[in-house]
Structure 1
Amino acid sequence: MGKLYLIPTPIGENASWDITLPAGNRRLLDEIGYFVVENTRTARRFLARSGLRRPIDELVFTELNEHTPPEAVAPMLEPLLERGENIGVMSEAGLPCIADPGALLVAAAHRHGIEVVPLVGPNSITLALMASGANGQSFAFNGYLPVKAPERQRAIRRFERRAHEERQTQIFIEAPYRNRKLFDDLLAVCSAETHLCVACDLAEPDQYVRSQRIAEWKKSGAPLFEKRPAIFILF
Structure 2
Amino acid sequence: MEELKPALYLIPNTLGDTAYERSLPSYNKEVLRGIKHFIVESRREAIRFIKLADSEIDVDSLSFTELNEHTDLKTIGKILDPLEKQRLPMGVISDAGCPAVADPGAAAVEMAQRKNLSVVPLAGPSSMIMAVMASGFNGQSFSFNGYLPVKPNERVSKLHQLENRAYKEDQTQLFIEAPYRNLKMLETIVKSLKKETRVCIAAGMTTKDEYIKTMTVEQWKKAGEPPIQKVPAIFLIYKG
TM score, norm. by length of structure 2: 0.94
The corresponding residue for 2:46 is 43
Q: Is residue 2 of structure 2 the alignment partner of residue 3 of structure 1? A: no
TM score, norm. by length of structure 1: 0.96
Q: Which one of the candidate residues 157, 160, 170 is aligned to 1:157?
A: 160
Q: CA deviation at 1:52?
A: 5.2
5+ residue gaps, structure 2, are: none
CA distance in 1, matches of 2:76, 2:216: 44
The corresponding residue for 1:134 is 137
CA distance in 1, matches of 2:220, 2:87: 55
CA distance in 1, matches of 2:45, 2:120: 22
Runs of 4+ off more than 6 Å: none
Q: Which one of the candidate residues 19, 25, 37 is aligned to 1:16?
A: 19
Does the 8 A contact of 2:10 with 2:121 survive in 1?
A: yes
AA at the equivalent of 1:62: T
AA at the equivalent of 1:64: L
**Per-residue CA shift, 1:117-153, capped at 9, x if unaligned?**
0000011111111100010110000011111111111
Q: Which one of the candidate residues 95, 118, 121 is aligned to 1:118?
A: 121
Give the superposed CA RMSD.
1.2
CA distance in 2, matches of 1:108, 1:74: 9
Q: Which one of the candidate residues 149, 153, 163 is aligned to 1:146?
A: 149
AA at the equivalent of 1:2: P
The corresponding residue for 1:199 is 202
Does the 8 A contact of 2:16 with 2:204 survive in 1?
A: yes
The corresponding residue for 1:65 is 68
CA distance in 1, matches of 2:117, 2:143: 29
AA at the equivalent of 1:90: I
AA at the equivalent of 2:8: L
**Per-residue CA shift, 1:167-199, capped at 9, x if unaligned?**
110000000111111111110111011000011
Q: CA deviation at 1:226?
A: 1.3
Q: CA deviation at 1:219?
A: 1.4
Within 5 Å, give how 1:181-220 maps onto structure 2.
181-220=184-223
AA at the equivalent of 2:234: I
Residue aligned with 1:10, SS: coil
Does the 8 A contact of 1:26 with 1:52 survive in 2?
A: no
AA at the equivalent of 2:12: P
5+ residue gaps, structure 1, are: none
Q: Which one of the candidate residues 69, 75, 78 is aligned to 1:75?
A: 78
Residue aligned with 1:113, SS: coil
**Per-residue CA shift, 1:44-80, capped at 9, x if unaligned?**
1111121154411010000000111112233110011
AA at the equivalent of 1:122: P
AA at the equivalent of 2:144: F
AA at the equivalent of 2:69: E
CA distance in 1, matches of 2:31, 2:137: 35
**Per-residue CA shift, 1:201-234, capped at 9, x if unaligned?**
0011331100011111111133121111111000
Structure 1, 201-210 or 15-24: larger mean CA deviation: 15-24
The corresponding residue for 1:105 is 108
Does the 8 A contact of 2:209 with 2:231 survive in 1?
A: no
Q: CA deviation at 1:21?
A: 2.3
Q: Provide the identity percentage.
A: 44
